[in-house]
Structure 1
Amino acid sequence: MNRLFLIMVVIGVPLSVIGSLMHWPAVIMFVVYCLTIIALAGFMGRATESLAIVAGPRIGGLLNATFGNAVELIISIFALKAGLVTVVLASLTGSVLGNLLLVAGLSFFVGGIKFKRQRFNVHDARHNSGLLIFSIILAFVVPEVFSMEMNDQDTFTLSIGISVILILLYLAGLFFKLVSHRGIYQQDSEQVEKENEEHEEPEWGKWKALIILALATVAVGYVSENLVHTFEVVAESFGWSEIFIGIIIVAIVGNAAEHASAVMMAYKNKMNVAIEIAIGSTLQVAMFVAPLLVLISLFLDTQMALVFSMPELIAMITAVFLTISLTNDGETNWFEGGTLLAAYAIMGIGFYLL
């Protein structure tokens, strides 16, 4: 499989560059871009696994989520420059739904098939639950409710204030988990993972893994940006709506690296890393990427407020409550993964028909 991914990268990246310069048919390039991103995601997954062994599950998962979301941030900035606020908000919604339902669901399902019962740090799960409720339900619902009694400028001002608070709390949360309370809430499952890692040699050294992760992220960013330009033609060819593309297609492709890494970690029973990628990436999108885009839009022609549509809000709130109810016990199995995947399928059908 690793050799196949290497061949796909060696062929796919040059084809992506040549095809974009020579303006090959959009449908063909759509397939080339998607396959190239999947292959690059494989390298990002291997680099993350090496870093997780060297630096621990929290830092490894955080690095994967950060590099994965960097791609989406770059795509969103280009979309904001083009004035596509609706697409950006839809892709943010898709990231939340994709990470909570698709990534976590696939991880629980694949890992649960191999292992009857998988455990992860229950203290981290409860900590993440509080942040999910705060960032998704409180910070995203408040602008929607208050905007009904405000003009556009006041709504944007409110969004700026909320964005600053979200970013500060996100940074404080990182300090809490990685510095001030590091190891305080260590659980048996995390101790078992560390004991296993002591007997497992990383495929790549720390610096080599970091360099590969950075190069793969740059390549994914370039390919993803070109992929966005094919969506309009592909949408017309397959009858997809703009909302469906933003919430389902952009989110899946933009987060392909995280999807592959989380499932790979769950298959190896490294659930703390898988959870950190799936839930941690969601928190990073809600508490850092989305607020940062609001602040960046200050310097662009088109300003973006944190005001989502009602279907988007309801979908995200439902996903949050379902995820919290399934993860708060610190254990999971394949059936819980299937439940999350079923919820994602229902929402996918809804947004396709919307």
Structure 2
Amino acid sequence: MNRIFTLLAFIGVPMIIIGSVMDWPDIPIFIISCISIIALAGFIGRATESLAIVSGPRIGGFLNATFGNAVELIISFFTLKAGLIGIVLASLTGSVLGNLLLVLGVSFFAGGIKFKTQKFGIHDARYNSGLLIFAVIVAFVIPEIFTQTMDQVDTVTLSIGISIILITLYLAGLFFKLVTHRGVFSSADTNKEEEEIPEWSKGKAIIILLLSTIAVAYVSEQLVHTFETLGEKFGWSELFIGVIIVAIVGNAAEHFSAITMAMKNRMDVAVEIAVGSTLQVAMFVAPILVLLSLMMPQSMPLVFTIPELVAMITATFLVINLSNDGESNWFEGLTLLAAYVIIGIGFYLL
């Protein structure tokens, strides 16, 4: 698999450069861009896995989520720059749904097939549950309710205030989890990293992360230019493109890494990647995009559609209910996947 990712990356990126220079049609550019981003995400996943072995599950999972979301942030930035605010908001929704239902679902399922029951930190589960409720239900639902009677200026002002609070709380949460209460979040995987040898050294892994992120930035810009043609060609709405297509491509790094960790029975890292990435999207990536949009011709309010909100709330409560006991199995994974498919069909037909 690693050789395939390497081959696809080294072929795909040059083809994108050639295609952009020679003005190839949008559909081939879209296909090659998606394949290239997924291949580059494989490099990001391997590099962060090496760092996870060196740094431990907490730092490793955080780094994986961060660099995985760097892909999402880059794609969203260029989409925002193109004025496609609907796709940006939909891709944020898709990231939340993809990480909670698809990534965590496949991780639970794949790991559960190999191991009857898998355990992860119950303190992590409870910590994640509280922040998920705050980020999705408080920070996302409140703007939708209050902006019903607001004009555009007040809506953007409210979004800015909420964004600053979200970023502040997210950073405070990291300080709480990684510094002041580090000992509380003990890991069932503590000794497992010591038994493994990282694929790459710390320095090499960091260099590969940076180079992969730069390559993703270029390919993402080319990908964004194909969205309008894609919608017209296949009759897909901006909502479906954002929630399903962009989210799956943007979260490829998390998909690859979380499933790999689950298959190795390192569920603390897998859960940290999937749920930690969700929290980072909701509490850091989305607010950052709101603030960045202030420098662009059209500001982006933190206001989602009713279907998006209902889908995210449903996913949040389902994950909390299944993960609060600190254990997982293949059937719980299948339940999460079934929910993702149902929501995906709904967005396709919407």
Shift, 1:254, TM fit: 1.0
- Residue equivalent to 1:32: 32
- Residue equivalent to 1:276: 272
Distance 2:161 2:230 in 1: 38
Distance 1:4 1:88 in 2: 30
| Closer/same/farther in 2, CA of residues 183 and 291 from structure 1, 3 Å limit | same
Question: Of 308, 324, 329, which aligns to 1:328?
Answer: 324
Q: Secondary structure at the match of 2:236?
A: coil
Shift, 1:114, TM fit: 0.9
**Which residues of structure 2 form unaligned runs of 5+?**
none
**Which residues of structure 1 form unaligned runs of 5+?**
none
Q: How large is the Cα RMSD of the aligned pairs? A: 1.2
Alignment of 1:63-212 (within 5 A): 63-186=63-186, 190-191=187-188, 193-212=189-208
Shift, 1:77, TM fit: 2.1
Which TM-score applies when normalising by structure 2? 0.97
Q: Deviations over 1:300-337 (max 9, x none)?
A: 21111111111111011001000100110100011111
Question: Of 236, 239, 245, which aligns to 2:241?
Answer: 245
Question: Of 284, 294, 305, which aligns to 2:290?
Answer: 294
Contact 1:67 1:214 in 2 (8 A): no
| Closer/same/farther in 2, CA of residues 29 and 82 from structure 1, 3 Å limit | closer
Distance 1:236 1:218 in 2: 30
Point out the more displaced range, 37-46 or 170-179: 37-46
Whether 1:221 and 2:217 are equivalent positions in the alignment is yes
Contact 2:167 2:287 in 1 (8 A): yes
Whether 1:318 and 2:314 are equivalent positions in the alignment is yes
Question: Of 308, 320, 331, which aligns to 2:304?
Answer: 308
Distance 1:332 1:204 in 2: 30
Distance 2:109 2:205 in 1: 28
> Which letter maps to 1:72?
E
Q: Give the number of equivalent residue pairs.
A: 350
Question: Of 243, 252, 255, which aligns to 1:256?
Answer: 252
- Residue equivalent to 1:232: 228
Contact 1:45 1:264 in 2 (8 A): no
- Residue equivalent to 1:23: 23
> Which letter maps to 2:109?
F
Distance 2:203 2:276 in 1: 23
- Residue equivalent to 1:11: 11
Shift, 1:204, TM fit: 0.9
Q: Deviations over 1:104-142 (max 9, x none)?
A: 111111111111111111101100100000010001111
Q: Deviations over 1:19-64 (max 9, x none)?
A: 1221222222222222222221221121111111000111111111
Distance 1:72 1:351 in 2: 20
Distance 1:78 1:25 in 2: 19
| Closer/same/farther in 2, CA of residues 148 and 234 from structure 1, 3 Å limit | closer
- Residue equivalent to 1:285: 281
Which TM-score applies when normalising by structure 1? 0.96
Q: Deviations over 1:80-122 (max 9, x none)?
A: 2222211111111111111111111111111111111111111
Distance 2:185 2:26 in 1: 50
> Which letter maps to 1:26?
D
Q: Deviations over 1:226-250 (max 9, x none)?
A: 1222222233333322210011001
Contact 2:41 2:68 in 1 (8 A): no
Question: Of 331, 346, 350, which aligns to 2:342?
Answer: 346
Contact 1:224 1:254 in 2 (8 A): no
Q: Secondary structure at the match of 2:116?
A: coil
